[in-house]
Amino acid sequence: MLKIGTKCPDFSLPDQNGKIHSNKDLEGKTIIYFYPKDSTSGCTKQAVSYSEHASEFASLGYKIIGISKDSVASHKKFEEKFDLKITLLSDTEKSAISLFDVWKEKKLYGKTNFGVVRTTYIIDENGVVVFANDKVKAAEDADFMLNLIQKA
């Protein structure tokens, strides 16, 4: 996980429509969250919740970007199936996933493997990490982040 005060790493990734986004294009404040897989239970709850609160985040000056290693086509299906209102970036090569240090060893049902650790970052208008959380509860993440920035 990146430390607070770290400059946002350089990345360039396609969204669910194939449009390329990079950290250099970020204007204003951004919440970037990394998640394991489209259309799984926790990831769906997290994306739907962010989508439901998208206008509230926007009114506070925040954009929402979700990143996983799923393909552009997978993201498009995910967006359409759940009517998502957020940007989903495809990182099939795990470039941003590695740069943001969210590819970790995980244990599940006694088996050890590597995967994306659900992690949420707030990037300020200067491109600096001002908040980082790798103990994310998927269904509560959007509400948690909204409350956090409203109190700031």
Instruction: Please identify every residue annotated as catalytic.
Output: 43
Find the helix or strand (DSSP H, E) in which 115 lies.
strand 111-116
As a whole number of angstroms, the distance between CA 65 and CA 87 comes to 5
As a whole number of angstroms, the distance between CA 125 and CA 26 comes to 8
Q: Are 126 and 27 in contact (CB under 8 A)?
A: no
